[in-house]
A and B are shown apart, each in its own frame.
Chain A
């Protein structure tokens, strides 16, 4: 018995040792898996924060983009509307000019235009073009002022379609000086637009 019991004790001892070993192994494995879980949890956590961060960043960007472009679009619409108004104002102004042909102030304007234009071309012989209504006026002005100028002038028999003013060409047709009211308005347009726009906008002021 004793030997048996000794054997048994040994076996027991071994078994219990194995048992504790096993238990500790299991425990270690458990601990490890716990740690793994913990690890992956924190990893997940980090991953999650990262995703949220980047989503936030994206959302922020998107928001900026949307806000930015919607403001821009609104501004651009305003620009288009303003341009319409400006053009309308121009057309009205032109129409008014068309009907102002008979005023006395127009004659003195025409005189100045013609007197400026002739020497500018720098040619000895020039052809003057104007609209149908003005050709009498031009003739009259030329008749009154020929003495002062040595430049030979001729009025074109082809009327041009303009509001007023003249176009002066050298006789050989190589040079043209456009001094019609139309071209003057065209040249002044950028300046006038600014004033018209300011009036149309009133005191609303500029964006932001």
Chain B
């Protein structure tokens, strides 16, 4: 809540380096406090306290320090941490990366003001996510099931269609058996205008803009602002979910830009770096964002997170995808090979995983054979890939009959199961039907991951 006590304004700037400003003569300032900076030209910027001691405070300036001067710059300490005004009215609105209106409309009239850093959710009060979300995308529903309250990122690379996939998920996502629509919170973090625009248009065309909140920090917006963008977005997502009881899908793109902003600050602070120059606390910092997904016991809403990040040089061992993978509940990895082959969505299923699938599928939730079918498909495609590699060396002649069957099944998997149109919405029955058609091209004895009773019920091939 805004306090009635005013902040003190200081003018003794000791140092400006990178995104940081060191202010001297500080008598009253607290850690994490919000700072309003006024340049000598009267322009206002926001910052926050990173470090504070007697007489000195280190302030990180969100909109960058370009144009700031040692003399003539004023810094007002506002006596509160960064807050986001929230209310139902936020739906349908567009904000900048710091949560200020960007659509020509006035500041939202707040129901309350929430600290954008949020607080850690008590694991004891979490409700374990188990409700299946049908995305209408076969490879996700069949093998990488998304559940309400999950955080499932898309690992992509430059030029790949992660935005198209994320937009398709946002348009089609539905909890089977309910009429509830998802509210969408979209945070663009340092992405190009066209990408953000694509997403906005997609929401508009499906009539979903009305239940969406957009935060846009574009490629030419201040980089340090990106530290805040996911935080304001997730603060709103939590409010919509836990105060208003909505099911929220939060899409954050691109988290790589976020991590780079973090690295910039760390370098300016001359901290000891971890891998590839990223700060040692990158894991904790990412976790503070990603862990803001979930469900709470006794509350209706949920926050499902789909962060998108581009892997530098398609390298999954790069610290950003690596640490993300350790925090999120699985990952959807897009593959360059499939993309080149023209397969959409180009999901590299073997590298992808949904950790919560086991809890969202099966008897009473989807279908009793769902998990086994998913496992068998993985097995099939993994074998097919092995055989493909082998066939390149020894040719088809060097393969056994069973190997050849796997080779063909692998092709069918890609073209009949994986591949679909960006506006094609397949229901689960169709997805599993297609899966069984692919599996039925293998001899029955190969289905070692499926219980006999399910083989009997669904297998259509010859023995």
Stretch at the interface among B187-195, B203-211, B229-237: B203-211
* Contact between B106 and A194, CB atoms less than 8 A apart: no
When the two chains form their complex, are residues B27 and A122 in contact, meaning their CB atoms are under 8 A apart? yes
Q: When the two chains form their complex, are residues B4 and A76 in contact, meaning their CB atoms are under 8 A apart? A: no
| B10 with A194: CB separation less than 8 A | no
Query: Are A69 and B9 in contact, with the CB atoms below 8 A?
Result: no
Q: For residues 269 through 296 of chain B, which have their beta carbon under 8 Å from a beta carbon of chain A? A: none
Q: Is A135 an interface residue (CB 8 A)?
A: no
> What is the CA–CA distance of A197 and B28 in the complex, to the nearest angstrom?
35
Residue among B3, B6, B105 with most chain A CB within 10 A: B6
CB of A178 within 8 A of CB of B205, answer: no
Contact residues of B: prevailing secondary structure? loop
Stretch at the interface among A88-96, A145-153, A181-189: A181-189
Of A12-20, A30-38, A42-50, A77-85, the stretch lying at the interface with chain B is: A77-85
Taking a contact as CB atoms under 8 Å apart, the answer to whether B11 and A176 are in contact is: yes
B85 at the interface (CB under 8 A from A): yes
Asked if A202 CB lies within 8 Å of chain B CBs, one says: no
**Given A121-B27, A177-B9: A69 touches B106 (CB 8 Å cut-off):** no
The verdict on A175 contacting chain B, using a C-beta distance below 8 Å, is yes
Answer whether A72 and B210 are a contact pair too, CB < 8 Å, given A65-B205, A122-B28, A178-B6. Answer: yes
Is B106 within 8 A of A79, CB to CB?
Answer: yes
Looking at the assembled complex, report how far the CB atom of B126 sits from the nearest CB atom of chain A, in whole angstroms.
Answer: 30
* Contact among A65, A76, A191, A206 for B88, CB-based, below 8 A: A206
- Decide yes or no whether B119 CB sits under 8 A from chain A: no
Q: A117 CB to closest chain B CB, in angstroms?
A: 8
CB distance from B58 to the nearest CB of A (A): 17
Q: Which chain A residue shows the least CB distance to B26?
A: A175
Residues of B within 8 A of A61 (CB): 205-207
Indicate if the CB atoms of B109 and A184 lie closer than 8 Å: no
- Residues of chain B with a CB closer than 8 A to A176's CB: 8-11, 74
Across the A-B interface, the 4 shortest Cβ-Cβ residue pairs:
A64-B207, A68-B207, A83-B106, A122-B27
Task: Name A's B-contacting residues (CB within 8 A).
Answer: 61, 64-65, 67-69, 71-72, 75-76, 79-80, 82-83, 86, 116, 120-123, 173-179, 183-184, 187-188, 190-191, 193-194, 197, 206-207
Interface residues of B (CB under 8 A from A): 1-6, 8-12, 25, 27-28, 74, 76, 85, 88-89, 92, 103, 105-107, 109-111, 113, 204-210
17 CB contacts below 8 A, A to B, read: A67-B207, A69-B204, A72-B92, A79-B89, A79-B105, A123-B27, A175-B9, A175-B25, A176-B10, A177-B6, A187-B3, A187-B6, A190-B85, A191-B1, A193-B109, A194-B111, A197-B109
Beyond the given pairs A65-B207, A69-B210, A175-B25, 20 more chain A to chain B contacts, judged by CB atoms under 8 angstroms and listed by A's residue number, are: A64-B206, A65-B205, A67-B207, A68-B207, A68-B209, A68-B210, A72-B209, A79-B89, A79-B106, A82-B109, A120-B8, A121-B8, A122-B27, A122-B28, A175-B10, A175-B11, A175-B27, A178-B9, A184-B6, A188-B2
